Amino acid sequence: MRWSVIDSPIGELTLAVDDTGLCRLHFGGADRPVDTDPLLTEAAEQLKAYFAGELQEFTLPLSVRGGSDFERAVWTQLTRIPYGEMQTYGDVAKIVGDVGAARAVGTACNRNPIAIVVPCHRVVGAGGKMVGFGGGIPTKRHLLELEARVTLETLWT
């Protein structure tokens, strides 16, 4: 894997790519050697555009490693939640075929190896409650508010 650390409005983000695509995006910096790689550069550019409100859909190749079948189904569903929208943990559980698995969806979101790009921040508790997020609730709120603002601005123009 090749690694990079970038600055963002929510703090440092650590990115990793392999020969297939982006395989890690974590909150915070990492104590790893920083590489130069065209895919790392592209990921950094797309994230910069996302935070500027100029990008609503990432077009990066992804390399999702590991995860149980259930976790992979959850991660796939996360990529289907439209920009600026949210689903509850219960909604996601129902969509992936296990209506009683809301907590397991939360665990799968916590294990999501490619945060933001695979948008686990769009999953909220029942009634829209802000619960659980590896980057912290303030970061989750920031990402959701960014997407809501851009969505409204797009509708009004």
Domain ranges in the chain?
2-51, 69-156
Q: What pTM, to 2 d.p., does this model score?
A: 0.93
When pLDDT is averaged across residues 10-23 and rounded to a whole number, the result is 95
Cβ proximity of 105 and 99 under 8 Å? no
Q: What is the pLDDT of residue 54?
A: 96
The architecture in CATH of the region 2-51 reads 2-Layer Sandwich (3.30)
Q: Give the whole-angstrom CA distance, residue 20 versus residue 61.
A: 7
Examine the residue annotation and report whether 23 is marked as an active-site residue of this protein: no
Average pLDDT for 75-100: 96
Per-residue model confidence as pLDDT tens digits over 20-69: 999 999 999 877 777 889 999 999 999 999 999 999 999 999 999 899 99
Q: Do 69-156 and 2-51 fall under one CATH topology?
A: no
Domain 69-156 has CATH 1.10.287.110: no
pLDDT of residue 92: 97
Q: What pLDDT digit, counting tens, does each position of 64-87 carry?
A: 989 999 999 999 999 999 999 999
The one catalytic residue in 120, 123, 143, 144 is 120
The pair of three-digit structure tokens given for residue 43, joined into one six-digit string: 């990921």
SS3 10: coil
Q: Which residue has the tokens 């983000």?
A: 13
